Structure 1
Amino acid sequence: MKNAELVFIPAPIIGHFASAVEVAKLLLERDKRLSITFLVMKSSLSTKIARSYNDSVIAACGRIRFIHLPEVELDPNLPSRFFISLIEAQKAHVKEEVSKLVMESESSPDSPRLAGFVLDMFSASIIDVANEFGVPSYIFFTSAAAFLGTTLYIQALHDEQKVDPTEFKNSDVELVMPCLASPFPAKVLPSSLLGKDLLPLFLPLIRRFREAKGIMVNTFYELESHAINSFSDGNYPPVYPVGPLLNLNGHEHDVVSDRKDTHRDIMRWLDHQPSSSVVYLCFGSMGSFGVEQVKEIACGLEQSGHRFLWSLRQPPPNGKMEAPSDYVNPAEVLPEGFLDRTSEIGKIIGWAPQVDILGHPSIGGFVSHCGWNSTLESIWFDVPMATWPMHAEQQLNAFLMIVEFGLAIEIQMNYRKEFNMDGGEIIRAEEIEKGVRCLMEIDIKKKEKLKEISEKSRKALMKDGSSSTWLDRVIQDMIDNMP
């Protein structure tokens, strides 16, 4: 059979990009007939890490290439939120690059044949381009299967039952959804489904999911069996749980040389801490707080008496769609004398080599924004998590970890602070202190449950594991669906 080429179009966010590369590497490892081309879009949220990441992946893994699409001037009349306008504006460039791939394939008998597109949840509208080439589209869903089920449920509720989900905002309504075993408080739905300005942008994308030939999800069956089974009624494309897909060598892709020194410094500090004694606080590549909240976190940590490693990031200018940066001098936003008083038990950092930190034996707990990658990493490394969601679907992930899976403790579940905007309630030091104490003294039953699911996460990817089996199935479907 002729070799097959897949075109991946990830969203220009490092978390989505990294897990898309991980699933691509698995596909290539599993089937020698496949080759993959990434079409990479640039945005203010895609960092310079991405380009060095590309280079290192190419060096380690043949049959993969990265084509960087030209930057585009965005139409000011198009909505700019969540990359939707960027992706729409790139459709012509995608078509142009895929045309070149097709010509290359036709001109050389050894070149692979275009087999399909693999699209991020945000780039689902590019199904239009795939249709022009007469090839199938697959979605790679970088979040939980339960979130996929939630989006499809809300879309059906809106389109078929004429319910306006934006009315759930701040309500006490509980939703009974097929993808969840427990009733779900509607007020912790993602902002994209609650906001009157955002819902009209997202509903068209969610509708496109149903047109895909299949949906790969970055999860594993043993964690989300209820959600995955809910897709088996024939009303959805096939859903393939192929995770957990983690970039376990993340720090190796950093191009900034001084980060190597930072990395060594962090790991050296952790080496000197007792086993399971350190609480690690990190709020993701987009997470940051204003000065008042920073001071409350500092006071809560100090009052808890626990050792801590805190990734403290500086917010971008209000309203700017940029990632947070490291503070030049964190003392400016911390309580006076805090660094001196906690110098024996705590360390403030900016950028964090997260997988290496979570894998270190001195880490005993993780205060997290509940991004899905971070959630899977916490499970993989068997590190108990305390939830402090901020935006996107993180409130839903917090609900999953606390209620649905019973694996985490709550600092907050319904905290909400939008990207790069001031606002969000202030969580006081007493609540943070209580949360850190509960996390570091988590009950034995939760610990045992987390250890068990952690082992299952690793087995899922092994030969004959559940995710490994699903991956074989999706490859077979891709080959069978080739035009």
Structure 2
Amino acid sequence: MKKFELVFIPLPVMGHLAAMVEMANILVTRDQRLTVTILVIKLPLYGKTAEYIQSLSASFASESMRFIILPEVLLPEESEKEFMLKAFLESYKPIIREAIIDLTDSQMGPDSPRLAGFVLDMFCTTMIDVANEFGVPSYVFCTSNAGFLALSFHLQELYDENNSKEVVKQLQNSNAEIALPSFVNPIPGKMIPDIFSNDDTASWFHDQVERYRSGVKGILINTFAKLESHVMNSMSRSSSSRAPPLYSIGPILHLKNNNTVGPGGTLHCTDILKWLDNQPPVSVVFLCFGSMGSFDEDQVKEIAHALERSGVRFLWSLRQPPPKDKFEAPSEYTDIKYVLPEGFLERTAGIGRVIGWAPQVEILAHPATGGFVSHCGWNSTLESMWHGVPMATWPLYAEQQFTAFEMVVELGLAVDITLDYQKHPHGERSRVVSAEEIQSGIRKLMEEGGEMRKKVKAKSEESRKSLMEGGSSFISLGRFIDDVLGNGPEGGE
């Protein structure tokens, strides 16, 4: 049996990395002819990523799947004046080239797998050049939703057809609206990710999208047909998008612990789940804002006041922001009570818990969990839907405002606390969300969202069916595998 090797190059941030590793695992489990090598780039700004990579590699490493952690690159001083991610990824091209040479040299035997292609994170299209040198095709993995991909195609067309600086200027106007062909509702300017409203980042990302059209053999999207059918159909039909084949293969979810337990360890996780065991079904609202989500003291106090006034049972993952001059993940508080209103923990002891790191998947899967206040990261959104737990949106950065808009306005699968709040991991917040707004959103989520809750439950069933044999994502992934095997030596025979 001939073997075919795919090289995965993820962006080394938590959400992107976890989804790509899980997809690699699904591929090698699905077809024994496939093997995957994951080339792991080290991003200096994310200190915790190295530990996460180690735990993932220990969990998934097998004969069919391996990790190669690449050397860390120090950027030249002049690159600090440019868009850093662009310079950073470019600096890795020669290292990846050498890694592929070593890989192919080590696989010269008759039973060794043959290199069949690259699967690249949606931000890593510069590595298409390396794939081309080795004569193999590239595929892109879109770790965001299909709606964001459609928006990216549309804005890139506008950028090409018009004065690029005028398009950027238009998107800087918070009162602007974008009519997206695949959406029913126009998208407010505040929902457009700020990568599109900065000259340098917009130019770089539009170059990425152009390479989706001209440089890759297909795009894998972490979504499922019945979630974003209108968007998928619109992109596939549109001649203007010039999209390559699209494969909706989701939801790709890292649902098992696999030793990736957080700072509190297994005992911490067990303690949280025991507390949930003692709560009534569908009674607890879970607040968690992702691996990079944190708030300053003013905002923390507003959340605390809202929870106390609402009287709802709650589980709140609260983490300490990094220093303002450092781009790091939030850390655990030494003593959490000092950031909360005086007496809050004592007054709410009967109905709530404030924790640090949270075992999110296990909490969402628990029958006591009735709602999820989320930053709207796409992995978290899919996890919430998978478990049938409705969301209240509180986006922070990147494309999260757009995802919140799609979930609340376009699909009716969430309620909003806010849609346009912004807080960059290394920057200032746009405003303080008041206790009244938070309390109102929690009430809509836990008391008034009956119809929305039914819709989320239906999507949960659809998401699970999509991955079963004969389901839409199962079939789509099979088409992708057929394409990969057809590219190999002797057409995969």
Bucket of the pairwise TM-score, normalised by the shorter protein: over 0.9
Conserved 8 A contact 2:262-2:358? no
Shift of 1:47: 4.3
Going from structure 1 to structure 2, the CA distance change for 1:378 and 1:336 (only over 3 Å counts) comes to same
Deviations 1:178-199 (A, max 9, x none): 2323221133101111223422
Tell me the residue number matched to 2:127: 126
Tell me the residue number matched to 1:271: 277
Tell me the residue number matched to 2:190: 187
Tell me the residue number matched to 1:33: 33
Aligned to 2:103, which of 101, 106, 123?
Answer: 101
Q: Specify the code of the residue in structure 2 equivalent to 1:456.
A: E
**Secondary structure, aligned partner of 1:164:** helix
Per the normalisation by structure 2, the TM-score is 0.94
Distance 2:212 2:332 in 1: 37
Tell me the residue number matched to 2:401: 395
**Secondary structure, aligned partner of 1:36:** strand
Task: Give the alignment of 1:65-144 within 5 angstroms.
Answer: 65-78=66-79, 83-105=85-107, 107-144=108-145
Going from structure 1 to structure 2, the CA distance change for 1:82 and 1:26 (only over 3 Å counts) comes to farther
Distance 1:315 1:151 in 2: 30
**Secondary structure, aligned partner of 1:328:** coil
Task: Give the alignment of 1:351-362 within 5 angstroms.
Answer: 351-362=357-368
Distance 2:14 2:109 in 1: 34
**Larger deviation, residues 36-45 vs 176-185:** 176-185
Deviations 1:291-346 (A, max 9, x none): 11011111111111101100101111113121111111111111111111111111
Q: Specify the code of the residue in structure 2 equivalent to 1:184.
A: I
Q: Specify the code of the residue in structure 1 equivalent to 2:229.
A: S
Tell me the residue number matched to 2:199: 196
Q: Specify the code of the residue in structure 2 equivalent to 1:463.
A: E
**Secondary structure, aligned partner of 2:77:** coil
Q: Is there any run of 5+ residues in structure 2 with no aligned partner, and where? A: none
Tell me the residue number matched to 1:382: 388
Shift of 1:81: 5.5
Aligned to 1:226, which of 230, 236, 239?
Answer: 230
Conserved 8 A contact 1:124-1:208? yes
Distance 2:448 2:199 in 1: 39
Conserved 8 A contact 1:83-1:122? no
Deviations 1:362-390 (A, max 9, x none): 11100000000000011000001000001
Tell me the residue number matched to 2:261: 254
Task: Give the alignment of 1:416-455 within 5 angstroms.
Answer: 416-455=422-461
Going from structure 1 to structure 2, the CA distance change for 1:213 and 1:432 (only over 3 Å counts) comes to same
Task: Give the alignment of 1:218-367 within 5 angstroms.
Answer: 218-233=222-237, 234=239, 235-250=242-257, 252-254=259-261, 258-367=264-373
Do structure 1's residue 157 and structure 2's residue 161 form an aligned pair? no
Distance 2:168 2:398 in 1: 16
Conserved 8 A contact 2:224-2:250? yes
Q: Is there any run of 5+ residues in structure 1 with no aligned partner, and where? A: none
Conserved 8 A contact 2:306-2:436? yes
Tell me the residue number matched to 1:55: 58
Going from structure 1 to structure 2, the CA distance change for 1:13 and 1:439 (only over 3 Å counts) comes to same
Do structure 1's residue 475 and structure 2's residue 481 form an aligned pair? yes
Shift of 1:82: 6.9
Q: Specify the code of the residue in structure 1 equivalent to 2:216.
A: A
Conserved 8 A contact 2:386-2:464? yes
Conserved 8 A contact 1:53-1:254? no
**Secondary structure, aligned partner of 1:28:** helix
Going from structure 1 to structure 2, the CA distance change for 1:2 and 1:83 (only over 3 Å counts) comes to same
**Secondary structure, aligned partner of 1:119:** strand
Shift of 1:2: 2.9
**Secondary structure, aligned partner of 1:208:** helix
Q: Specify the code of the residue in structure 1 equivalent to 2:167.
A: D
Per the normalisation by structure 1, the TM-score is 0.96
Distance 2:169 2:484 in 1: 37
**Secondary structure, aligned partner of 1:231:** helix
Aligned to 1:368, which of 353, 370, 374?
Answer: 374
Tell me the residue number matched to 1:3: 3
Q: Specify the code of the residue in structure 2 equivalent to 1:174.
A: E
Distance 1:251 1:2 in 2: 30
Going from structure 1 to structure 2, the CA distance change for 1:434 and 1:47 (only over 3 Å counts) comes to farther
Going from structure 1 to structure 2, the CA distance change for 1:251 and 1:385 (only over 3 Å counts) comes to farther
Conserved 8 A contact 2:4-2:114? yes
**Secondary structure, aligned partner of 2:314:** strand
**Secondary structure, aligned partner of 1:391:** coil
Stretches of 4+ moved more than 6 A in 1? none
Conserved 8 A contact 2:83-2:200? no
Q: Specify the code of the residue in structure 1 equivalent to 2:135.
A: G
Shift of 1:51: 0.7
Shift of 1:255: 7.2
Over the matched positions of the two proteins, sequence identity in percent amounts to 50
Going from structure 1 to structure 2, the CA distance change for 1:444 and 1:82 (only over 3 Å counts) comes to farther
Q: Specify the code of the residue in structure 2 equivalent to 1:344.
A: G
Going from structure 1 to structure 2, the CA distance change for 1:22 and 1:89 (only over 3 Å counts) comes to same
Distance 2:171 2:407 in 1: 22
Distance 2:337 2:173 in 1: 36
Distance 2:113 2:83 in 1: 36
Distance 2:274 2:325 in 1: 37
Distance 1:84 1:456 in 2: 38
Do structure 1's residue 214 and structure 2's residue 215 form an aligned pair? no
Going from structure 1 to structure 2, the CA distance change for 1:321 and 1:84 (only over 3 Å counts) comes to farther
Conserved 8 A contact 2:261-2:359? no
Conserved 8 A contact 1:166-1:193? no
Distance 2:309 2:27 in 1: 48
Cα-Cα RMSD:
1.6
Distance 1:72 1:227 in 2: 39
